[in-house]
Structure 1
Amino acid sequence: MKINTKYLGEVQINKEQIISFPKGLLGFEDHKEFVVLSMEGNTHFKFLQDIHHDYISFLIINPWDFFEDYDIELPDNQLNSMGIFPEKNTNISIYNIVTIGKSLQESTCNLLAPIVINLENKKGRQFILDNSPYTTKHRLLPKGEE
């Protein structure tokens, strides 16, 4: 199927790529179906694109590409409700949303609300971490780094 995207124009996807977010994303609770799209020539950034609304797209990263000490604990009962069982080594991906600043050095990442995707059943959920040292605006690159 073809979808229109905010940044990549028209893109061909297959139904197996569609990720269902039963609760939507924070602030976008009515938007339930997304796809993760790669950026040509860039392995660090991807787009989380709403398949029904081309204007809804989030820039996302694997947090450990930028924050190697990122450490999170997610409630087992909520992971289990997504079909994720740590003892079964469920195949998952974790992403965080990036907010682009005037420059890459001013861009920030929301480490407080990771997006977890069960790659086996294509279910996703955005979590808000409890008692966390993280915020919604961590600098993507430390000052002075390019």
Structure 2
Amino acid sequence: MKLETQYHGIIEYNENNIINLVKGMSGFENLKKFILVGIENNEVFSLFHSMEDKETAFIVSSPFYVKADYEVNLSEELVKELKIDSEKDVLIINTVNLSKDIKKMTTNLGAPIIININKHLGKQIIISDDEKMIKYPMIHS
């Protein structure tokens, strides 16, 4: 299958790439179907692209690339909502704010996207509104 996007051209995907958000992302509550695709020759960043709006996409990354001891406590309610059976089912990603100056790139560790990779369900949760977590540097000096 193919998704025509505004900024990333045509993205090929299959049904297994589709993530259904149980609640839209902050500021994009009406968008609930996304695909997660790798970026060629890049192990750190991926593209989280809306299936419903060809102009909406986020650069995302694993929080563990920037903070090895990053932890998220999943509530019992969230575990049920995303039908999580095991820790192995869970993928955690965070949005990235790009900058021309690589030292100014940040990631939002305060609002991770939790994905059940087996059930293709996800949800963005807010765990902190601390400015240091919301704009956590991708590169530390």
Q: TM-score, normalised by structure 1?
A: 0.88
Shift of 1:73: 1.3
Give the unaligned 5+ runs of structure 2: none
Correspondence 1:38 to 2:38: yes
CA distance in 2 between partners of 1:121 and 1:54 (Å): 24
Q: Deviations over 1:63-118 (max 9, x none)?
A: 10121121221212212211013xx4451210000011231210111000000100
Shift of 1:135: 2.1
Residues paired across the two proteins, number: 141
- 41-50 vs 72-81, which moves further: 72-81
Shift of 1:125: 0.2
* CA shift in 2, pair 1:133/1:73, >3 Å: farther
The match for 1:50 is: 50
* CA shift in 2, pair 1:73/1:122, >3 Å: same
The match for 1:128 is: 126
Q: Deviations over 1:35-90 (max 9, x none)?
A: 001100001100100012221000000110121121221212212211013xx445
- 45-54 vs 71-80, which moves further: 71-80
Q: In the TM superposition, what are the counterparts of 1:1-146 in structure 2 within 5 Å?
A: 1-85=1-85, 88-129=86-127, 135-143=133-141
* CA shift in 2, pair 1:111/1:141, >3 Å: same
Give the unaligned 5+ runs of structure 1: none
* CA shift in 2, pair 1:68/1:127, >3 Å: same
* CA shift in 2, pair 1:83/1:7, >3 Å: same
The RMSD of aligned alpha carbons is 1.9
Shift of 1:2: 0.9
